Chains A and B, each alone.
Chain A
Amino acid sequence: MTLRFKYTLLLAFGTLATVLAAPDVTITCEPSLPKANLVVNGNFDEGLKSWNLLPKGSDGSQFAFDKIDGCVGEKCLTITGDPDQKRGAFQRITFTPSVKPGETIFLRMLTRKAACDIDAKNPGGIALHAFCENKTARYLPVFRLTQEDHDWTFRESIIKLLETDAPISALNLYLCYYDNEGTLSFDDIQLYTGTAKATLELNEEVRKVEVLHSVHGKLLKEKITKACRKELIIPAYGSICVVMEDASGKRFYRHYPEGIDANVLASDNTIPLGTISRNFLPHDDITLKYDFNTNPLSEGKKTFLCFKSRIDNSIIGGHTHICMVKVNGTQLGDKEMVLPCREFTSSRGTLYKVTGNSGYLVFYAPACAPIDVENNYCPASLDSHDPFTFKLDITSHVKAGTNSIEFTNTCRSNPKYHPVLIIEQPRIIIE
């Protein structure tokens, strides 16, 4: 073997080793996640088992468990409203140990409302009646349902106990549909509390590590320059994504636990961007970056960037242009717009353009779900009534090799307002 050949061989292997040795992290957790759902039969696959009916003595005829398109599993709970009755169901949940001051209760569920009376005093909703160790009881703050109809929409509440609150030993979770018409459906009810200790073991040197949480956003951002082990307290619900950035700026992802709040799966025509389904861009950390490589099979096809976007808010309340999207450094605009639309007329007759100089128009909302026409902010002229789902044709911007996508929250600094931009399920679709 000649010396030249030996050096060439070594260089080739070295290069190959560099390509193959991507940064990676081992994640362990105590207790391991996901934890058990504290709500028993939260998806109603066992009918009313573990639930109690309201009003007391109800025969259950006002409740149905048929599958409705969009529900999780085979069943969901549907309550038929009565303008003269307070109908609902409840379940008692006991905490062992009690939930202590500083700790969090996390509630998540799907709801759906149809043919309701929009002028009814009670739009339907949830109540959490907490029982404390000191023998007092109180209602915990939870999300409100919209006054008008809505299709399956997932809702969450994060309730953090104050340091002055008494520990909570149990609570009644109420699903209420009082004095109304039509139907209110519930599915996939989850309640968790507590934290877990995650241990991250990084196998080699990286430029930066971030830990993102699917409900709380960024938990950690550090410059780490060598292989190390790091312990982190994380919520015992949702999931985390560890993002490692190597010396060249390329990003690698590791998700835990698998399948929980995860981005869409990769397939022949789908490239998920990151592993976590929900990404937060608070005002003071404004850019989310991804890379993706073009596939030779995508030649001759169109490339789309797809995602959902909203500004985190407890109710649907207006919109503003703060979602700037760039592909390989070029800001996207009207030309790339496929969904939702270039402009729309709202229910109250006002006209809006979706593309602005500061980025795309994003709605303040608690979830990315179509808005009923009875809501003032509904994009009434858009058939789907869904202003949250974006599909952008980026074919002309994509090049062979590595491409970059950047999402930026362009809201200008203001001491009073800090809109948190949320990007959900970002992915590349090849069609």
Chain B
Amino acid sequence: MKHLVLTVTTLLVIATLQAQSLPDIAPKAVTPVPYQAKLLPGGAVEVSLGTQTYTILGDFSLRPGWAKLAATETEGFTSVNVNGDSLAASAPGFELKRTLSRAVECLVVTDLITNTGTENLPLMYRQYVNLPKVKEYRLCGNRIYSKRAAGTNSINSTVMVVPEEGGSLTLLAVSDIFRVHIKTFSAKGLYGLADEILVVKPGATVEMSFAIFPSTSSDYYDAVNAMRRFKDVNYVIAKGFAFLAPYPPGVKTFNPDYDRIGKDDTVEEIRRWLDCKSADYVGCGSVGSLNERAHGTAFLKNIKTDIHKAFHQKILDARPTATVFHYFHAHLDVKADMEQGTYDQWKQLKPDGTQGDYRNPALPLFIAVDGTNWTDYQEKRLKFIHEVLNCNGIFWDEFPYSALEFHYGEPWDGVTGDINPRTHEITRLKSSVALLSLSWRAKMLEWMGANNIMLIANGGGPYTKSMTDIFRKYKFIAFEETGSLSNLTQVHLFTPIGLGDHITERNELDCYRNMLRHLDFGCLYYYYHQQVEPFTHYTLSRYMFPTTPIELHEGYIIAKERILTNRSGNFSFGGNEEAEAHFFDANGYEVKREAPKFQKDGKTYYKVELGEYESCALVKKEAK
């Protein structure tokens, strides 16, 4: 008996010690960051946290030269008055009002810039820190290895610097125009956010605001999670996704023994296929081999309505929980099929005045401006998808813009232009397609929300705060394609979903392994195209949804409903939640394995041990 007690005790001690060799991972308590912040006499912003102090300098272009907000002395401003957390300044051509507002984990700086002249005002705007030595830095979420770099991303519109002494500072562009125009930069020890294409109309006021996140942590994902909380984007991602179109027989896949699943497959075959992918959002679309066209005016001319309706019904018969989506794109038409001349006024123009295209003249570009015959037609398409094809979901491809970001012609968006970097004069006006189409796209999203139509957008998500608010209101989601896996940094500040990699995935094992790679970036996985076959078994995606993110990390996601991980650790939901563990082996098959439970610091932890290419989903029992 004594021997038995001794053995059991020894085993428990060994297990505890082993558990202690794995990291303990639980959601971190969100507490106010005890930073100090103030406006300096020269108008720059000073932020301190612990032993770190940062000065965020500001540059505003003049013609010629610059007006600068610095620590003590300003330059170029005719007057600067600092009063607590506010500043009022004047410079040739504009007035500036700056205010600071303090949030739980960051400081928000709002600059209101008013053009006091009678002509359009070109204004290059830069906010940056000067840190001669840093341990590492990131632009738009990507770690940069060169001394100078530039980046642009309107969702992860950030600069993060990690000083040699530790801690970190992250700058995040917040206001709509700043995010759309964003350029992040590093050069000669300067790291910052810039808008180098801003034009302010005479008498108009433009808001440029950004947030400053000081932290004692150097971890990128700690900064990501703070920004996600600030942007309030941790809402539920309800279901998994896969594309499924009504292909006729004979359309090949990468496997010579399998054609793409399609319209002639049985309900049972479709059920099995969707079960393997665990997809309840099903993305249908036009099929080239049925002579259909996905874009513009060609879409309605060629759509085989009866085939799609019948196929959608099969999908719902196979999986009653499914929502069927149909493909939509607002900016392209098909030259061979389109109605020539009808929409000429809405051509998207390049700087030389010719119409832009999708890197192929067969697919010309148009701008989706509200109240035009082009958007009238797009609305007709959307209504057709919902009312005739009976889809309750829209998959909106290239949501903010397509192959070209800018339009060089009328109408003008009122805030964008090319500015000569030497003279600071306007070279020419241009328009951001994202801004030009914003009001119409917002109108369409409100229509979808009012009609219980779900939206999934491609392109990472909304580029503006105003659009983010609509997405959040209706729990719309977006994903990013992963031809390069690091594209996932673009979704770190929105719904963290990556689409499967169409460039390298050839079989279901590749898909599973990419799910694990997505977890390396703290992201979820949606299946891509049907070139990959066959799918023979369910995998990790069965336990991925619904997910309401709490924290993203390298290798795992902590959500309200579940924890998904590709690395070992002792995981906790933060309390004493009961959960069941689902382990997947290196080939993506679920295997029976225990995740021993233990108590520590008032929390219940589950010990997850994984080998290479293995994964685990810890699912809270009440989430089922």
Contact = CB atoms under 8 A, between A and B. Distances in A.
B152 to A, nearest CB: 11
Given A348-B139, A415-B360, A417-B359, A321 B503 contact: yes
Given A119-B188, A353-B503, A357-B506, A347 B361 contact: no
Interface residues of B, number: 30
Contacts of B145: 345, 347-349, 373, 378, 380
A373 B486 contact: no
Given A414-B359, A417-B359, A351 B144 contact: no
A118 B149 contact: no
B14 interface: no
A174 B502 CA distance: 48
Contact of B144 (A321, A348, A355, A414): A348
A380 B151 CA distance: 17
A133 interface: no
B451 interface: no
B186 to A, nearest CB: 10
Interface residues of A, number: 25
Interface in B493-548: 501-506, 531
B148 A374 contact: yes
B484 to A, nearest CB: 5
Contacts of B486: 345, 349-351
B503 A347 contact: no
A349 B144 contact: yes
B485 interface: yes
Contacts of A376: 146, 149
B187 interface: yes
B295 interface: no
A416 B489 CA distance: 31
Given A351-B486, A356-B504, A415-B361, A119 B187 contact: yes
Contact of A374 (B141, B147, B360): B147
Given A357-B254, A416-B359, A416-B360, A348 B146 contact: yes
B301 interface: no
A180 to B, nearest CB: 16
B159 to A, nearest CB: 12
Interface in A351-374: 351-353, 355-358, 373-374
Contacts of A350: 142, 484, 486-487
* A348, A358, A373, A374: residue with the most chain B Cβ atoms closer than 10 Å: A348
- At the interface, is chain A mostly helix, strand, loop or mixed? loop
A374 B139 CA distance: 15
A83 to B, nearest CB: 15
B157 to A, nearest CB: 15
Interface string B385-402: 000000000000000000
Contacts of B484: 350-352
A264 to B, nearest CB: 31
A106 to B, nearest CB: 32
A378 B147 CA distance: 13
A122 interface: no
Contacts of B63: none
B576 to A, nearest CB: 38
B149 A348 contact: yes
Given A349-B143, A380-B145, 15 more contacts: A345-B143, A347-B149, A348-B149, A349-B145, A349-B486, A350-B142, A350-B486, A351-B484, A353-B504, A356-B504, A357-B504, A414-B359, A414-B360, A415-B360, A416-B361
Interface of B: 138-139, 141-149, 151, 187-188, 254, 359-361, 484-487, 489, 501-506, 531
The 7 closest A-B pairs by CB, nearest first: A349-B142, A351-B486, A380-B145, A356-B503, A349-B143, A347-B146, A350-B486
